[in-house]
Amino acid sequence: MTTDHPFPEFSVREINVPVHALSRFEPLIGEERYGELRRVAALTSHRLEGKTVWNLSSTAAGGGVAEMLQVLVGYIQDANIDIRWLVMAGDPEFFYITKRIHNRLHGAAGDAGELGPNEAAHYTDIMAANLVSVMSRVRPGDLVLLHDPQTVGMAAALAEAGARVIWRCHVGREGSNEWTDEAWWFLRPHLAHCEAYIFSLRQYVPSWMDESRVQVIPPSIDPFSPKNQEMFQGDVIRTLRRIGLLEGGGAGAPATFTRRDGTPGHIGRRASILPEGGPPLDPDAPLVIQVSRWDRLKDMTGVLQGFASSMVGRVDAHLALVGPSVADVTDDPEEAEVFAECVSALEALPADARRRVKLVTLPMEDIDENAAMVNALQRHATVIVQKSLVEGFGLTVAEGMWKAKAVVASSVGGITEQVAFGTGILLADPTDLPMFGDTLAELLTRPDQIAQLGARARQHVLETFVGDKHLLRYAQLIEWLVS
Ligand code: UDP
C-alpha cells in the first residue's frame, strides 16, 4: 500500500492496556465456573498460536466499546493470546457521517443528512488513510475485530491481505425502517468482506444477513475495574465531595481507588457542575442519576423533565445527569449540541425544580479516575435511571445492577435482556414522561422495594453479565473460525 491518498495525517494508534489476571475471577464465580474459564482459555491460546488478534475501534475512552476493550484485552493477554487494540483517526466530517450511520442503525434520522456517494467516498478515503498504519502491523492469518460502523470500511483490504475479518456491531434496533435500510445499504459492501458478525442481541441481526455467520455476544462488566470495584463508603462520599457534588468538600484525606494496572489512584480533579454556583447536595438526600454520553437517544432532557414535573412537592430527591466532559469524546460530533439542549432544559425549569437538578460533566483526562467517579456516583445513587429511547445494550444498566441498585430503565434494546423480572423496573414507553416521573416518585417512597430489587439485580448480573461469560463466547467464535 502506498501513501497516495488524500489524508496521510490519519493513522491508527495502539492503546496499551494493563494485563489482568484471570485468576481474579475465581473467588467471585466459584471453582467450577473458573475451571471452565481456564480450560477454554488454554485451548483458545493453543488454537491461536502464532496469530495476533487485533481490535480496531474509533475511540479509546467514553462509551461502551472503549469501556469493554479496556478490560477484555487485558484478560485475554493473560490467557497467553497476543491481542492488541488500535484506535483509528478521522476528521469531523467522517465522524458526522459515522454518527449518522450510528443513528440510523438505531432507526433514527439523526441529523437527517445524506448517506450518498459523496459520504461513501469520504468514508473510504479516511479508511484508506488509516489502513496504511494498520497494514504495516497485520499479518496473513491474524484475526481482526472491526468494531462498529467507523472501522468496517477496512474489511476489504484486510481480507485481501489474508486476515480473518470479523465485524462487531454494538448498536442495533429490532426490526427495520427506512433509516436502518439506508445505514445497511451504506455498510453492506464492506460487510461482504467479513467472515463473521457479532451482535449484542439476536434481534439486531438484519434479515438479509447469513445467520450461520452470526454470533450473539452480549457485553459484560468487569467487577474489578475502577468502574465496578468495591468502594468503601468513606471513599464514595470523599469522591463526590472532591468532584464538587456533595457538600463538605475541602481539606481531608483524598478518596482512593485501585487503577487498572493495580496501582493506587487518588481523586484529584473536579467535575463541572451546572447550575453554576448552586449549593452542593446533602449526602443524606436521595439521589437519582443517569450516566450517559450526551446523545439524544439517551434522552437526558426527558429524564430531567419527567423528574422535575413529578418529584417536586412529592419526594425530597435530587437528580444528577452525568456524562463525559463535552470536549473529550472525539468520535461524537453531536454531544456539544445535546449538552446545550440539557442546559436550556435546566434553565427553563421553575426555580424549585431547578435546585434539585445537577448537570455533571466528568473530566476524562484520566480514564481510571473518571471510572472511579462514575463508580462512586452509581454507589451513592438511591435509584439509577437509563431512560434511553433506543439502546444497543446499555452497560450503565448492568453497572448499576452490579452495585445492587434499583434501576428504572426503558424497555428497549439490550436493556430488556438485562432487567429480568423482579430485578428492576422497565418503562414500557420511554416517551411517557408522566409515567416515568410517577414510577420514580413511587419507588423512592419504598426503601424495601429498592433494596429487594437491588439485591436481585446484583445476583442476576453475577450469573449472566460478568466478564468470564463474555470471554467464553469469544472463545466459541474463535473455535468456529479457526477450526
Ligand atoms: N461512561 C463513563 N463516563 C462518563 C459517561 C459514561 O465512563 O462520563 C461510561 C458508562 O459508565 C458506560 C459507558 O460509558 O460504561 C456507556 O456505555 P453504554 O453501553 O451504556 O452506552 P453507549 O455509550 O455505548 O451507547
Half-sphere exposure of 432 (CA within 13 A, CB side): 12
- Could you tell me if the CB of 293 is within 6 A of ligand 1? yes
- Could you tell me if the CB of 360 is within 6 A of ligand 1? no
Spatial distance between the Cα atoms of 420 and 465, rounded to a whole number of angstroms = 12
Ligand 1 centroid–CA 290 distance in Å is 10
* pLDDT tens-digit map of 148-180: 999 999 999 999 999 999 999 999 998 999 999
Instruction: Please give the pLDDT value at position 3.
Output: 56
Half-sphere exposure of 131 (CA within 13 A, CB side): 23
Nearest atom of ligand 1 to the alpha carbon of 227: 11
Spatial distance between the Cα atoms of 124 and 89, rounded to a whole number of angstroms = 13
Instruction: Please give the pLDDT value at position 1.
Output: 47
Contact assessment for residue 54 and residue 145, using Cβ atoms and an 8 Å cutoff: yes
Spatial distance between the Cα atoms of 150 and 357, rounded to a whole number of angstroms = 35
Domains of the chain (ranges plus CATH)?
13-220+466-482 (3.40.50.2000), 233-464 (3.40.50.2000)
Which residues partner with 199 through β-bridges?
A: 169, 216
Mean pLDDT, each 10-residue run in order, the chain (483 residues): 75 95 96 97 96 97 86 95 98 96 95 95 97 98 97 98 97 93 98 97 95 95 96 96 89 87 95 94 96 96 96 92 83 88 97 95 95 98 97 95 98 95 98 98 97 98 95 95 85
pTM of the predicted model as reported, rounded to 2 decimal places:
0.90
Ligand 1 centroid–CA 4 distance in Å is 37
- Could you tell me if the CB of 61 is within 6 A of ligand 1? no
Classified as helix, coil or strand, 233 is helix
Q: Helices (H), strands (E): how many in the chain?
A: 17, 16
* pLDDT tens-digit map of 241-298: 999 999 987 667 889 999 988 999 999 999 999 999 899 999 999 999 999 999 999 9
